[in-house]
Amino acid sequence: MNFLRGVMGGQSAGPQHTEAETIQKLCDRVASSTLLDDRRDAVRALKSLSKKYRLEVGIQAMEHLIHVLQTDRSDSEIIGYALDTLFNIISNDEEEEVDDVEEENSTRQSEDLGSQFTEIFIKQQENVTLLLSLLEEFDFHVRWPGVKLLTSLLKQLGPQVQQIILVSPMGVSRLMDLLADSREVIRNDGVLLLQALTRSNGAIQKIVAFENAFERLLDIITEEGNSDGGIVVEDCLILLQNLLKNNNSNQNFFKEGSYIQRMKPWFEVGDENSGWSAQKVTNLHLMLQLVRVLVSPTNPPGATSSCQKAMFQCGLLQQLCTILMATGVPADILTETINTVSEVIRGCQVNQDYFASVNAPSNPPRPAIVVLLMSMVNERQPFVLRCAVLYCFQCFLYKNQKGQGEIVSTLLPSTIDATGNSVSAGQLLCGGLFSTDSLSNWCAAVALAHALQENATQKEQLLRVQLATSIGNPPVSLLQQCTNILSQGSKIQTRVGLLMLLCTWLSNCPIAVTHFLHNSANVPFLTGQIAENLGEEEQLVQGLCALLLGISIYFNDNSLESYMKEKLKQLIEKRIGKENFIEKLGFISKHELYSRASQKPQPNFPSPEYMIFDHEFTKLVKELEGVITKAIYKSSEEDKKEEEVKKTLEQHDNIVTHYKNVIREQDLQLEELKQQISTLKCQNEQLQTAVTQQVSQIQQHKDQYNLLKVQLGKDNQHQVSSSDGAQMNGIQPEEIGRLREEIEELKSNQELLQSQLAEKDSLIENLKSSLTTPGTNEATASAGESEQIAELKQELTTLKSQLISQSGEITKLQTEKQELLQKTEAFAKSVPVPVESETVIAAKTADVEGRLSALLQETEELKNEIKALSEERDAIKEQLDSSNSTIAILQNERNKLEVDITDSKKEQDDLLVLLADQDQKIFSLKNKLKEFGHPIEEEDELESGDQDDEDVEDEDDSKDQGHIQL
C-alpha cells in the first residue's frame, strides 16, 4: 500500500521504480516468451506482486493477462495464476493494516481503483464471455479463481456485468452449475456469486429460478442442518430472498412447486434453552423474513391468499404458533415470529380461526390472543415486542367480522366471567385504555378501533358496554368514559388514541353519533378545543377534534332536535368559522407522521413518541376529509335533497338485494339440477356399457347355438337311420303325467308374461297421454319448446311400436311352447324317441331362455330411453321458469313409470327363474328316462316337425337380432 499511496499521491519514491521496472520486464516475458514455462513463471511473479503493487500491475499487465486467458487455455496452472492476478487487481479486499487517519482515504481510493479496472475489463464484452466459458472447466485451479473474479466484477459494477451475462448464451445456466459442484468451497462461493448476480434484476431472478435454483438451495439448507447450519445456510437464505422479494412470478413458481411445504422443518426448534447460537438466531431470523416475503401485504392479494392457505395446509402456521408459545426463545426471534404469524393470518379466515383456537401451555390454558395482549399493555415489555403484538392483533381482526364479534362480546355483561378467574381480551383492552401508561392507552385504543373497523353491528354492540368507575357510583358507558378522559387533559398520545377510537366508532354509525351527541358536554368541549389558539403540539389534537365533530355532522340522522345537522353547522360558523374549521381539519394529513403511517400496515416506529397514527385510520381520514368539507359548506336545502337521494338509493339497494337473493336461490337450484343431470349421465353411460357387453354375449351365444344346431342335425340323421326298429319299453305313466303338468305350468307362466307386458303397454299409453296433455303453463310455451314436446311424443310412439313387436315375440314363443307340448305328448304315447333328441329339447329350451333374456335386455333399453326422455324433459323444465306445476306433474309421472318398470323387471326376473326351474325339471326327466335304459326313436313326422321348428327358430333369431340393434 505504500507504493499505491506513492503513486496516487504523486510522491517520488526511488525503490518503487525498481519494482515498476520488474513488473515491466515480467509483462514483456509474458508477451514474448515462446516457452510455456517461462510465461507461467512470469504470471506467477505478477500474481505475487499484484496485491502490494496493484495499480502498476493493473496498468501494465491486464492486457497481457487477458491474452493469456485466450491463448493458454490448455494449461490450467497458468490460467489459474492469471485469474488470481486479475482478482487481486480488481478486488477491493484490504488485507494490510492502515492507520485510522489514513483508513477512510485509502478505502475510497481502493474502491475507485477497483471500479476503474472493472470498467476497463468489461469494456470488451468478450472478456466476460471468456470468463464464463472458463467456469465450465472442472479443474479447481481454474474454476475457483474464475468464480471469485466474476463475483468481484459484479460487486464493482453489478448492473453492467448483469446485462452482459444476460445477453450471453447460456450465461446464467453455466453459473447455476456451480451449485452442483461436489467441492464445497466452489459451491459456497457460487452461492455468493449468484447473490451478486440476482440483486435487483428481475429478469435474471426469473432465469435462475427456472434453472431449478429453489430445489438446489433447499437441498443445501437441508444438508447443512436447517436453522442449526452455519454461514452457508445464511448465504442460501439471502439468495432465496433475492429471488423472491418483489418478484411475483418467482413467488408463484415457489408456491406451485410445493416448496412452501419444505420450509416447515426449518422451524422445528423445540424448547431447548441451550441451542440458540448467534448463527442459529441469524438463520432463523432470515427464515422468518423469507416467510414474510411470500405473504407480504404489498403482494397481489390472490398470491398472498394462496400462500397463506398453503402454509396452513402443510402445518407451517402451526409450527410458527408453537415457537410463539414456547419458552426460552430469544426476544428478537419472538418479535419476528409474532410479525410473521401476523402476516400469515392477515385477511385469511381459515388461518384467523386457527389462531383464535391456539392456547398457551399454561395451567389453566389461556388463549394465545389473551397472552399476547397481556404483553402489549405491560409497560415493562420491550417496545418492539409491544408493536409486534399490536400488529398481530390488527392482522387477526383484518376482514374478520367473526373475530371482531368475539372480541367485543368479551366486553358485554352477558359474557363476562362473574367468578373473575379468567381475564378476557376485552378486559385487557379496557385496562390498557384507562391505565396510566400513555403507550398502553394508544395501543389499546387502536386495537379496539380495529375491532370496530367496517363493522356497524359491533359498533352498536359496543354502545352496551358499561364500566364501573368507582364504588357507590352508577356505571357509565364506555363511550362516555372515553370522552371523560379526553376532557381531563391527559397526554397527547392518550388523547390522540382516544380520538382515533371515537372517530372510527362514530363513522358510518348514526346510532353511535346520537349517543355521543346525547351527552350535552361533548359538543361544547369539541368546539372549545377547535376554537382555541394553542401551540403546534396541540394542533394535531385540534384537527382530530374537528374530524370527530365533522363525523357527528355528516353521519347525523337528525334524531336529536337540539343537535341537528343545520344547528351544528351554525354553531361551527359562529364559534369557529368554516374556514378555520377546515384549516384545523387539514392539520391531520399535513402532519409529518401521517404519511409514514399510511405507507405500511405494520406499526414500525423507532421510539414510543413516534406512535401517533394508525395505518387504517389514515385511510379513514383520506376517505372522510373531503366529504366532511363538502358537508360543512352545504345548505339545508342541499341536505334535504341529499337525504332524499339517500332514501332512494336505499330503496334501490333493497330491491337489488332482493333480486340478488332470488338469483342466488335460483343459482343454487340450477346447480342442484346440473348435479342431477351429471349423475344421470354417468348412470346412462354405465348402462350403455352394460348393454353393449350383453349384446356381444348374446351374439356369441347365438353363434354357439347355430353351430350346435348344425351338428345336432347331422347326428339326428345318423341316429334315425341306425335305430328304426327300436321300441320304447317300460316308461312309467306317472313320469309322463308329471312332464305334462310341468309343461302346462310353463304355458301358464308364458300367458302371465304376456299379460304383464300388456299392462306395461297400457302404462306407456297413459304416460303418452299425460305428456301430450298441455298444462296451464305449457300453453304459453314458445315454439321451440313445442317442438321438443313433439319429439318426446314421437319417441314414445317408437317405444310403443317396440313393445308391440315384443308382444309378437312372446306370442311366437307361446306357439313354440305349444308345439313342444304336443311333441312331448306324442313321445309319451307311441313314438320312440332316440336318446340324441334330448339334446334337441335342451337346445330349444335354452333358445327360449335366450329369447326371454333378449326381452329382458330390450326392457332395459326401454328403461334407458325413458330416462333419456326424462332428461330432455328436465331440460325443458330449466327453460320454462313459469311451468313449475307442469314440471312437477311430469316428474311424479316419471317416478311412477320408473317404479312400474322396476316392478316389471322384477317380474321378468321371476319368470326367468321359473323357466330355469322348468328346464332343470326337464333335464331331470331326461336323466330318469336314461336310467330306465329304454332308448326312444323319433318318427319321420317328428323329424320333419323338428326341421320346421328349426326354420322358425332361425327366423326368430334374425328378428331378435333386429330388436337388439334397435
pLDDT of residue 17: 57
Alpha helices (H) in 723-732, listed in sequence order: none
pLDDT of residue 697: 83
Query: 707: pLDDT confidence band, cut at 50, 70 and 90?
Result: confident
| Residue found by looking up cell 334407458 in the block | 864
Give the tens place of pLDDT for each residue, 390-423. 999 999 999 999 999 999 999 887 655 544 457 8
Lowest mean pLDDT among 561-570, 574-583, 942-951: 942-951
Query: 964: pLDDT confidence band, cut at 50, 70 and 90?
Result: very low
Reported as type and span, the H/E element at residue 360 is strand 359-360
C-beta separation of 327 from 276 below 8 A? no
DSSP string, 43-72: HHHHHHHHTTTHHHHHHHHHHHHHHHHHH-
Give the tens place of pLDDT for each residue, 481-525. 999 998 887 789 999 999 999 999 999 999 999 999 999 899 999
Residue 333 has pLDDT above 70, yes or no: yes
- Average pLDDT of the chain is 81
C-beta separation of 500 from 447 below 8 A? no
- Better pLDDT: 317 or 535: 317
Those residues whose C-beta lies under 8 Å from the C-beta of residue 499, and which sit 6 or more positions away, are 486, 541, 544, 545, 547, 548
Query: 233: pLDDT confidence band, cut at 50, 70 and 90?
Result: very high
Mean pLDDT, range 50-63, rounded to an integer: 91
For the chain, the distance separating the N- and C-terminal CA atoms, rounded to the nearest angstrom, is 103
pLDDT of residue 306: 95
**C-alpha span between 620 and 603 (Å, rounded):** 16
Residue 13 has pLDDT above 80, yes or no: no
pLDDT of residue 683: 85
Give, in order, the Cα–Cα distances in Å from 250 to each of 12, 212, 297, 864.
57, 11, 17, 53
What superfamily does domain 406-412+424-634 belong to in CATH? Leucine-rich Repeat Variant (1.25.10.10)
Nearest to 855 by CA among 750, 746, 747, 942: 750
Dihedral (CA of 380, 382, 384, 385) sign: negative
Number of helices followed by number of strands (H, E) in the chain? 42, 4
3-state helix, strand, coil in the chain (%, to 5): 80, 0, 20
DSSP string, 168-180: STTHHHHHHGGGG
33 grid coordinates: 516468451
395 grid coordinates: 392482522
Mean pLDDT, range 364-375, rounded to an integer: 92
How many CB atoms are located within 10 Å of the residue 461 CB?
A: 17
SS (H, E, C) 372-411: HHHHHCCCCCCHHHHHHHHHHHHHHHCCCHHHHHHHHHCC
pLDDT of residue 681: 86
pLDDT of residue 704: 82
DSSP string, 741-787: HHHHHHHHHHHHHHHHHHHHHHHHHHHHHHHHS--TTGGG--HHHHH
Domain residue limits, the chain = 406-412+424-634, 637-678
Q: What is the pTM of this model?
A: 0.65
- Better pLDDT: 801 or 10: 801
Lowest mean pLDDT among 507-516, 716-725, 881-890: 716-725
C-beta separation of 913 from 783 below 8 A? no
123 grid coordinates: 469494456
For the chain, give the percent of residues with pLDDT over 90.
Answer: 47
117 grid coordinates: 479496472
Helix/strand/coil for 477: strand
Those residues whose C-beta lies under 8 Å from the C-beta of residue 783, and which sit 6 or more positions away, are none
Nearest to 286 by CA among 217, 188, 360, 372: 217
C-beta separation of 754 from 814 below 8 A? yes
Residue 81 has pLDDT above 50, yes or no: yes
Residue 144 has pLDDT above 80, yes or no: yes
804-838 per-residue burial string, b: 16 or more CB within 10 A, e: under 16: eebeebbebbbebbebbbebbebbbeebbbbbbbb
Give the tens place of pLDDT for each residue, 607-644. 998 999 999 999 999 999 999 998 888 766 666 676 67
Nearest to 918 by CA among 815, 842, 866: 842
Give the tens place of pLDDT for each residue, 440-476. 999 999 999 999 999 999 999 999 998 877 776 788 8
**C-alpha span between 698 and 701 (Å, rounded):** 5
pLDDT of residue 375: 93
Give the tens place of pLDDT for each residue, 377-394. 999 999 999 999 999 999
Residue 960 has pLDDT above 60, yes or no: no
Give the tens place of pLDDT for each residue, 825-854. 555 454 343 333 445 455 655 665 676 667
Give the tens place of pLDDT for each residue, 786-795. 565 566 667 6
**C-alpha span between 262 and 266 (Å, rounded):** 8
Give the tens place of pLDDT for each residue, 265-305. 999 876 555 568 899 999 999 999 999 999 999 999 899 99
- Better pLDDT: 293 or 105: 293
721-751 per-residue burial string, b: 16 or more CB within 10 A, e: under 16: eebeebebeeeeeeeeeebeebbeebeebbe
- Better pLDDT: 809 or 727: 809
Lowest mean pLDDT among 44-48, 165-169, 759-763: 759-763
Give, in order, the Cα–Cα distances in Å from 262 to each of 221, 222, 265, 294.
10, 9, 7, 14
